[in-house]
């Protein structure tokens, strides 16, 4: 697996963990902020090159 993908997956995993924590804490504002962050990350172009 390419390093780029591993790093991206790890980063998304951390973001998802933060989102889940905010969800459990019932903090709607925090959830909204993290949701926007996740959507921005998901919308980024996946222009990676072979290493």
Count of structural domains, the chain: 1
| C-alpha span between 22 and 4 (Å, rounded) | 27
pLDDT at 1: 54
More confident residue, 16 or 3: 16
7: containing domain: 3-43
pLDDT at 12: 85
pLDDT per residue over 21-51, tens digit each? 777 766 677 778 778 888 888 887 666 554 4
pLDDT at 51: 45
Is 50 part of any domain?
A: no
| C-alpha span between 12 and 10 (Å, rounded) | 5
Q: How far is CA 24 from the centre of its chain?
A: 17
Is 48 part of any domain?
A: no
């Amino acid at each position: 697996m390419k390093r780029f993908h591993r790093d991206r997956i790890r980063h998304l995993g951390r973001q998802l963990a933060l989102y889940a924590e905010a969800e459990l804490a019932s903090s709607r504002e925090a959830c909204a902020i993290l949701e926007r962050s996740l959507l921005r990350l998901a919308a980024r172009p996946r222009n990676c090159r072979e290493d």
